[in-house]
C-alpha cells in the first residue's frame, strides 16, 4: 500500500524522500523492522488474551523431562506470526505483483487450516483436532492453486538470453533477451543446471509435451504437503520450528533478491526471474515474524505456535522455493524438516514390520520425531534446539553455495 501511495506522491507532487520506496532494499528493511515490532508488541497482548480465554495446550504424558510443566501454556500463537507477516507485506510490497499475491493467499490459506485444527483441539476439547484427510485436502487445494498459477499465469516468466546461433539459455547473459513462459528449474551443484519440466516427456514425442502440467501440479502438491507437514512435526520443542524457519527464510530472501536482480543474476550466472525480487520483502517479513515470535517461544515457552503457525510457515517455505525455482534444493535447505519427517516414517514403518514379523514392534529411535529421541537420551531442550539451529545454518550455507559451486 505504501509503495503505491509514495510512488503516486513522488510522481505527481515530487514529495521529498518519497522516491526511497522504489528501492526493494529499503522496503525489505522496513518490513523486517515492522514485523519484529508487531510480533514483540502484539505477541505479549495476544498471550494475555489467550490466557484469559484459557486457550491452553493439552499435553500427553510421553515421559519426557519437563513436559507436564508445559500444560496450560497458551497455543494458537501462530496468529502472531501470521499478523507479523501479512501487515508488513501489505504495507511495503507491491500488491500488483503476482508472486506477492500468491504468497498472501498461501499464508492465509494454510493459516486458516491450522487455526481450524487448533480451534477444534482447544474449544471443542478434541485432542485429534481437524481430521488428517481434511488437512491433506486443504494442502492439495493450495497446491492446485499454486501449480496452476505458476504454470498458466502470463506474469510468471523467466528471462531467456538469445545468442548469435539462435540458441537460448536462462543463464550466460547476452545483450539480446526475451521474457518467456517456461517451466525451467535449477538442479543444485550441476554446471548446466537447467531442467525443463516440458522435456520430461520429450521421449514420447511432441504430442506429449502438453502433459507437463499433469506432472508439474502433482509435484507442487507433493512439495507443499511434505514441507508443511515437516514444519508441523518439527514444532515439538520450544523454539525449534521458529528458529529453523527463520534460517531458511533468510536463505530464501537472498535467493529471491539475487534471482530478481539483473546485476546479481548476471554476476552469479543464475536464472533471472523478473519481478521475483519483490519477494525479498515478504521473506524478510517472514524472518522478522519468526525471530519476533522467538521472543516468547524460546525456552521456556510462554506460547506455542500450534498448527496455526507450523502449517503456514512450512507452506510459505515450499511456495517460495517453487517460485524461485529452487524446489530441488529443498532436501538440503529444509534438511531439518526432512530428517524429522523421515524419523517418523522410519519409526512407524519399522515398528509395523517387526510386529508383523516377530509378533512385537521394535523401534529404531527411542521416540520419534528425532528431537524427542534426544530428549529421551537426556539432552536438555535448549541444547537440542541450539544444535539443530547450527545444523540448519550449515545447510543454509551449503544451499547458498549452490549459487557458485556447479
Q: Enter the C-alpha cell of residue 366.
A: 527411542
C-beta contacts of 43-50 below 8 A and 24+ residues apart: 43/77, 43/80, 43/292, 43/293, 43/295, 43/296, 43/303, 44/296, 46/77, 46/79, 46/80, 46/303, 47/74, 47/77, 47/296, 47/302, 47/303, 50/74, 50/75, 50/76, 50/77, 50/303
Q: Is 232 annotated as a binding residue?
A: yes
Instruction: List the beta strands (DSSP E) in 35-181.
Output: 158-162, 168-169, 176-180
| DSSP letter (8 states) at residue 236 | T
Q: Alpha-carbon distance 15 to 7, whole Å? A: 10
Q: Alpha-carbon distance 99 to 107, whole Å? A: 12
Which candidate, 321, 375, 334, places its Cα nearest to that of 241?
A: 334
Q: Alpha-carbon distance 247 to 145, whole Å? A: 27
Q: Is 196 annotated as a binding residue?
A: no
The residues with which 112 forms a beta bridge, in sequence order, are none
With vertex at residue 334, the alpha carbon angle to CA 298 and CA 29, rounded to the nearest 5 degrees, is 65
Which candidate, 285, 299, 302, places its Cα nearest to that of 246?
A: 285
Please identify which residue in the block is written with the cell numbers 481430521.
Answer: 131
The neighbour count for residue 321, using CB atoms within 10 Å, is 24
Which candidate, 324, 117, 312, places its Cα nearest to that of 228?
A: 312
Axis-axis angle for helices 279-297, 98-123 (nearest 10): 30
Which candidate, 213, 82, 94, 83, places its Cα nearest to that of 148?
A: 213
Binding site residue list for Mg(2+): 232, 307
Binding site residue list: 232, 307
Amino acid at each position: 500500500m505504501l509503495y503505491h501511495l509514495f510512488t503516486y506522491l513522488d510522481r505527481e507532487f515530487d514529495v521529498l524522500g518519497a522516491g526511497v520506496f522504489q528501492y526493494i532494499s529499503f522496503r525489505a528493511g522496513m518490513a523486517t523492522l515492522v514485523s519484529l515490532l508487531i510480533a514483540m508488541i502484539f505477541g505479549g497482548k495476544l498471550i494475555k488474551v489467550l490466557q484469559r480465554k484459557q486457550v491452553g495446550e493439552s499435553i500427553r504424558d510421553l515421559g519426557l523431562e519437563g513436559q507436564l510443566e508445559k500444560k496450560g501454556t497458551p497455543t494458537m500463537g501462530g496468529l502472531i506470526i501470521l499478523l507479523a507477516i501479512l501487515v508488513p507485506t501489505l504495507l511495503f510490497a507491491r500488491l500488483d505483483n503476482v508472486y506477492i499475491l500468491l504468497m498472501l493467499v498461501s499464508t492465509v490459506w494454510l493459516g486458516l487450516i491450522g487455526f481450524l485444527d487448533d480451534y477444534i483441539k482447544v474449544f471443542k476439547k478434541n485432542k485429534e483436532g481437524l481430521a488428517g484427510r481434511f488437512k491433506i485436502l486443504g494442502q492439495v487445494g493450495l497446491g492446485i492453486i499454486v501449480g496452476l498459477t505458476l504454470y498458466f499465469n502470463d506474469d510468471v516468466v523467466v528471462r531467456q538470453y538469445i545468442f548469435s546461433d539462435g540458441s537460448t539459455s536462462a543463464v550466460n547473459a547476452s545483450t539480446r533477451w526475451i521474457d518467456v513462459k517456461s517451466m525451467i528449474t535449477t538442479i543444485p551443484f550441476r554446471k548446466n543446471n537447467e531442467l525443463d519440466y516440458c522435456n520430461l516427456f520429450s521421449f514420447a514425442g511432441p504430442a506429449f509435451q502438453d502433459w507437463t502440467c499433469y506432472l508439474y501440479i502433482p509435484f507442487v502438491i507433493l512439495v507443499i504437503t511434505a514441507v508443511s507437514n515437516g514444519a508441523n512435526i518439527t514444532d515439538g520443542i520450544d523454539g525449534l520450528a521458529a528458529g529453523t524457519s527463520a534460517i531458511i527464510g533468510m536463505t530464501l530472501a537472498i535467493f529471491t533478491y539475487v534471482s530478481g536482480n539483473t546485476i546479481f543474476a548476471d554476476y552469479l550466472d543464475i536464472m533471472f526471474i523478473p519481478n521475483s525480487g519483490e519477494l525479498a520483502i515478504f521473506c524478510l517479513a517472514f524472518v522478522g515474524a519468526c525471530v519476533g515470535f522467538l521472543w516468547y517461544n524460546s525456552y521456556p515457552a510462554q506460547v506455542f505456535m500450534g498448527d496455526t503457525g507450523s502449517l503456514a510457515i512450512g507452506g510459505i517455505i515450499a511456495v517460495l522455493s517453487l517460485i524461485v525455482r529452487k524446489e530441488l534444493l529443498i532436501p538440503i535447505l529444509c534438511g531439518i524438516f526432512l530428517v524429522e519427517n523421515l524419523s517418523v516414517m522410519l519409526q512407524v514403518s519399522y515398528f509395523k514390520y517387526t510386529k508383523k514379523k516377530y509378533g512385537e514392534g521394535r523401534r529404531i529411535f527411542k521416540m520419534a520425531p528425532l528431537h524427542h529421541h534426544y530428549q529421551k537420551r537426556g539432552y536438555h531442550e535448549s541444547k537440542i534446539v541450539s544444535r539443530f539451529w547450527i545444523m540448519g545454518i550449515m545447510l543454509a550455507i551449503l544451499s547458498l553455495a549452490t549459487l557458485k559451486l556447479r
